[in-house]
Amino acid sequence: MNIALVYGGSSSEREISILSGKHIATHLLAPDRNVFEIDICQTCWRLVAVNGRDTQPSDVDKNGFTVQWEGKHIVFDVVVLMIHGTPGEDGLLIAYLEMMGIPHTGCPARTALLAFDKLACKSYLRSNGINMAREFRITEKTLAGPWEQQAAAALGPMPWFVKPVAGGSSFGVTKVSEAAHLLPAVEYAMKEDHVVMIEEFIQGIEVTNGIMKTADKEFILPVTEIIPGNGCEFFDYRAKYEGASAEITPARITPEITRLVQQTTSLIYDTLLCRGVVRVDYILRGRDLYFLEVNTLPGMTQKSLVPQEILAAGMTMRGFLDQLIRSAIDEHQRI
């Protein structure tokens, strides 16, 4: 089997994507497989490693998503997607692979596109009964009007979160507690995306839950509790990837609340028509669960949340990835 492991991308999440890809590569190696690591950036698509060893970089033929290796023309049986941000998580690369008829481990392109737009995703899930925080949309045009007063009317008093609508790994996200810090936070978020949302702050426990469904199995992973620390007010980039947080799996919540989180994750997965492995983030306040966002290509570094949940479930990364790949190929054959 020839597997293309694709990582990199052209967003702020590029570094994390590469770390995810390199971590996953070690668990994909097997005698009956060739694993081709492909780095995609804004200007090039290049083969950079084969079976865990760096190779002389060579271009991918975009006309068929193929490569040349050791004098052979390599056609891929499946693409394992590890690009967080654009062009992977936003559905662009997925749409290309779907047009080419190549199996992949991500969600359908339409699902990825919807989930990547936090406002559109929240609107769709809210219409399907999912509980969540209130938000207010900001664009450059909005800034010409009385947007601060409008935001206060929509959200209530501070603190608020300011977030780019498209993006991940908490890049561009700020918690704002004073009016003087609001505009700088919006401008900071606009470096990631031209549309920004201000979201009400809900005091509670941050939890997250990974899930993967195949044709005949459902893997709803243990819930993880996130405790930001070392000066982090929320689960930002430092907390996620530089050890400035504690993550407890399984979370210190009751069996009843655990079922609520897992059932909500399963409902969101089905409502959005997800495929592959997905992670959903929440705030838990008492017995009330508030949806934050869905990650259709979640981080898979050694420090990431989904790998922790896989191990806590008593599974191996190799076994989980085998299920992911098999499901992608089977799903493609059914279409």
Buried b (16+ CB within 10 A) or exposed e, 169-189: bbbbbbbbeeeebbeebbebb
Instruction: Please report the pLDDT score of residue 317 as a whole number.
Output: 98
Could you give the residue ranges of the DSSP H alpha helices within 128-232?
147-155, 182-189
Residues, the chain: 335
Instruction: Kindly state the helix (H) or strand (E) to which residue 19 belongs, with its residue range.
Output: helix 14-28
Cis peptide leading into 159, omega within 30 of 0? yes
**pLDDT, tens digit (0-9, with 9 covering 90-100), for 17-33:** 999 999 999 999 999 99
CATH code, residues 113-131+203-334: 3.30.470.20
**Which parts of the chain sit beneath pLDDT 70?**
168-169, 230-244, 335
Instruction: Please report the pLDDT score of residue 100 as a whole number.
Output: 97
CA dist 41 and 9 (Å) reads 5
The residue ranges of every structural domain in the chain are 2-104, 113-131+203-334, 135-200
Report which DSSP code applies to 138. E
**pLDDT, tens digit (0-9, with 9 covering 90-100), for 149-185:** 999 999 999 999 999 998 765 788 999 999 999 999 9
Question: Is CATH 3.40.50.720 correct for 135-200?
Answer: no
DSSP string, 222-265: EEEEEEE-TT-SSS-HHHHHSS-EEEESS-SS-HHHHHHHHHHH
Terminal CA-CA length for the chain:
20
- pTM of the complete model beyond 0.85: yes
Instruction: Please report the pLDDT score of residue 172 as a whole number.
Output: 86
CATH code, residues 2-104: 3.40.50.20
Instruction: Please report the pLDDT score of residue 308 as a whole number.
Output: 97
